[in-house]
Structure 1
């Protein structure tokens, strides 16, 4: 009998130990709170209008303070700062989050991004509504929303794209990093409409005598500046013309200038560069049978009709500088009445009858169109 009792006790102790171990190992969140937690109370701001500065975007814009939410227990409370274009918070966006704090400072960039995500248009003074939503745990359970406050915000447009330009003796501007000629400017690369890391250039590249140092080009991020500069990853002198390779940049990947892209003979080529993988291809392009229109005009609700210019170096490239565009749409209209357009703003591939290109923000633009490929790019000058 004693042996049975001892054995039962041992088994019970082991079971109790395992139960305790499993309980300690259970990391699920179980909160016992009051049935109606006290929501945070957001303090009013000391101003009613806020103009966001597009230059000093890291400067503080809004300081928010609130009274702590109460859940009837000691717990670290999560807080989400929500912005909305209406006081019902129909489609709120979260500007920032914090845990265990009752104050936060949002930068100009953070407020501008939140206002845009909430649906405010740039360059318009419109009301935005702000509230604090408290919750518990990693699952954000037991949420409670504060009162809402209103402030009128004048956002700027956050142009997130990079633009790139050609320079070199194989292309129109020569080794002039800011060619102001009316006919041989530094042409841009055309950004992929679906992948902002990928860019294209299809056009004439010249090397009439087959010289090793002719037919060359590099890529600049800003006209008039030699850095940032992108080219072949091989050093100059070892950068034999190639149909593909890796890309290097000063200062993107190294401190010294990279090598040159290049071709061995004059012709039409298609150049593609991927700044995510730092790779490129440079292959011949068959332009046989592709004729340029006699004239090309920018038309649409965003502007009065604007005549485009042909590049003297390559007549398949068209451009118009400093065109004031307002929110609306544009398309490229030929002398024969063909209307080239697409559905993507800033850059894309236009087709005849492809619709109108949306212009989503007012600014002065350099507009470029390539009639070999239908690619276009609208580069804002002040955003």
Structure 2
């Protein structure tokens, strides 16, 4: 009888301990907010981030100190998530022992982009603070959640890939075309083509693979695209300016041979000095004897397609470029990065 009573008592005690542990686990999973975010406040004015002000402060978050029973060093992690995701996935946007943090325009834009906000659209960003101490058995506590409205930006131009016979039909390594701006679909770039090719868009993570949206010729070979078309576009071997609009579903290929022209070049402004395409470097190259003066780059010994302006990012019909001293120069024209066309002159 005594043994039975002891067994019953042990069972009750064990069940009680198990129940207490269950309650503690529930508290750990959903710890109550024990401190508050002070600023920004809910309903604050939307924030529009601007690329030209990247180093300016964009947002300061302040909060009351977390309430622990004993004085202790506290680490605060600032977590952000796209509104509506309930922090199922979140971005750690800062860690500090202070009770405030300030993000620059560049920092906040990058963090919000990583959290999934769409550039140039006003969307909500949820902010919460997690407080922890160095004690092994201490559990984190969380602040309340505050939502701010943000309009982020992107300086990356949208791109599509051009896989084809010229590179083994492999979208991840295919040359790219770029549009003129975010939300635009007027893609262009310079590509060495040799036979069949298609256009492939990125997936949601920006990767280019078969299975993504792709475009081919409509079968008429008159510059009309069709989505998921079975017919490949085609071109004879050569270096082309390729343009494709995935909204109007039109495309074109213009063969180009590049040279340098101007008062600083042997042919003056009337005749281009030819450059040679290097398939390894993907640059147009040549050693040219030049005098001090102005010059530009143009295709096909004509002015229909010409580049000038900013040496770090030339534009069509841009202003004249210049060289200060006479001499022999290795001229390298790089058109491999769509809409970011550059050149270098290296004295020989």
TM-score (norm 2): 0.41
TM-score (norm 1): 0.37
